[in-house]
Structure formats: C-alpha cells, structure tokens
Amino acid sequence: MIRLTGVHKSFGAQKVLNGLNLEIPEGKVTAIIGPSGEGKSVLLKLLIGLLQPDSGLIEVDGECMQGLRRSQLNHIREKFGMLFQNAALFDSMSVFENVAFPLQEKTKLTRDEIRRRVLSALEHVGLKNVEDKFPDELSGGMKKRVGLARAVVLDPKIILFDEPTTGLDPVIKRAIHHLIRETHAKFGFTAVVVSHEIPEIFDIAQNVAMLYQGEILQHGTPDEIQASTHPVVKQFISGSLDGPIHVG
C-alpha cells in the first residue's frame, strides 16, 4: 500500500500539489485522472522518489520515502516499474537492448532466457521485428509500447503508468488496456495509471482519484466517480466546456 499524507510540492513560485492525501491500495489498479498540467506526472515522480516533496509524508508498504540513503531508496525502488509519459528510452541502445537492460543489470538470467523474455514482452505489446531499431527510428506510439515492455519486464510489484495509451491508435489502445487488465489479473501487481482515457479507464481501474488544484478532489470506485454530483468531476468526465474548469 502507498500512502500520501499532506504532500506539498512547488516549483519556484508555482504550487503544484497542495496538501494532497491519497491511499493507493495494494493489488488494485488505481487511476489518476485530472486536467492537463495539474501535477499527475509530478505525483508519480514523487511516489518513486525522483522528486522530493516540500513537506508531507509518502509511505510505500509502511516505509517512509524521505530522508533515505541511496541504498535504502534503491531497495524500495526495486519494487517499482515505471513507464514515463515520454517513454524515456535509452537512445544509444536498440529496442532489444532497452528492454533487456533491466534484466541484464538486475538478474542473473542466461542470455537465452533474457532473449526469450524480451521477445515475449515485446510481443505482448504488439511489437514484432523491431528489436534492432533504435528509439529515434520509432513512431511515438511504438516508443510508448517499448517503454511499457521495459517497465513490466522485471515483473515488479508496483507499476506506475504515465499515460500508457496516449498517442496510440484505437486498436492498439484497446490491446494495451486489455494487456494491463489481463496481466493485472494474472500477477496481481499494484498499478497506478495516469490516464485521459475516459470512459475506458473506468473498465480497468478498481479505484479512481481525481486530481484538481493540487488536491484529490474525489476518490472512489469507477461507479462512484461516474455518478458524482461534484460539478468539477461531472464536467471533467463529460468533457464539457461549461462548468468550473476554465480552459486557457
């Protein structure tokens, strides 16, 4: 279980998170939704310790993420896999090497076993015959899928997905959603999915949290969120232009 208590985070004068409280239950898929630029990516980076909160507490399985030595932090990070919003592939490595990298560095598997796992991970995200390409030679959607394969290849306990399907075509989008649901049913990892895919995300997540103005505005099951009477939530999930959220 991951628990955030009173988390504040600012960049210079800009307040991004403003006393955020959230509990992410173990073994479930939790979706984070909310308008662009509200701090969803920042929230994921706080969870894995890439950013430090200005104040507040972040606990992973009862262990506090602040004030740790590098070795302690790495110990906690080994539970995590992360897909970055921009995929963050290593551009000096081929697709194969990118996905193989965590296996090479973190396990003692043989070359053949690594090869088998990498190819199967790539196949699961619908990529074939691209192992030898380099990230610069891939389309945006392909990069995303390589990043997805790299994030899950070590079978982590907790997986953070930052917009896993943004920029993918509808068929692949459905396939990725299917993949997340299936692998979750099989391995039972804890997932945090930042997503703009409304309403599809309600079929995948067991929990939905809406981030708005630096706080969790509402948190509940997909049905509760869809039935919400809160004007901001209502406007956001219906994608209407009229309401309290102003664009621009």
Partner 1 sequence: MFTPVQAIGRLTIGYVRNLGRMGWFILYSLYMIVRSPGSPVYILKQMRFIGTKSLFVIVLTAAFTGMVLGLQGYYTLAKFGSEGMLGTAVALSLIRELGPVLSALMVTGRAGSAITAEIGIMRISEQIDALETMALDPFKYLVTPKFVAAMISMPLLCAIFDVVGIYGGWLVGVKLLGVNPGAYFYEMEKSVMWRDVYSGMVKSFSFGVIIAWIGCYKGYFSGPGAEGVSRATTESVVLTSVIILVWDYFLTSILL
**List of residues contacting ligand ATP (CB under 6 A):** 11, 16, 36-42, 85
CB 59, min distance to ligand ATP, A: 21
Which one of Mg ion, partner 1, ligand ATP, none is in contact with 80 (Cβ closer than 5 to 8 A by kind)? partner 1
Interface with partner 1, residue 72, by CB under 8 A = no
- Judged by CB under 8 A, does residue 187 bind partner 1? no
Return the residue of 24, 38, 41, 96 that touches Mg ion, per CB under 5 A.
Answer: 41
Exposed e or buried b per residue across 137-165, where buried means at least 16 C-beta atoms within 10 angstroms of its C-beta: ebeebbbbbbbbbbbbbbebbbbbbbbbb
Q: Which residues from 47-66 bind partner 1, rule CB under 8 A?
A: 48-50
Query: Which residue, 131 or 162, has its beta carbon nearer to Mg ion?
Result: 162
Applying CB under 8 A, the span of 24-32, 74-82, 166-174, 191-199 interacting with partner 1 comes to: 74-82
Sites for partner 1 among residues 99-138 (CB under 8 A): 101-102, 105-106
Q: Using the rule CB under 8 A, which residue among 10, 52, 66, 86 binds partner 1? A: 86
Torsion of CA 81, 83, 88, 89, to 10 degrees: 70
Q: Please pick, from the candidates 88, 109, 130, 198, the single residue that binds partner 1 as defined by CB under 8 A.
A: 88
**Which residues here bind partner 1, judged by CB under 8 A?**
45, 48-50, 70, 74-75, 77-78, 80-82, 84, 86, 88-91, 101-102, 105-106
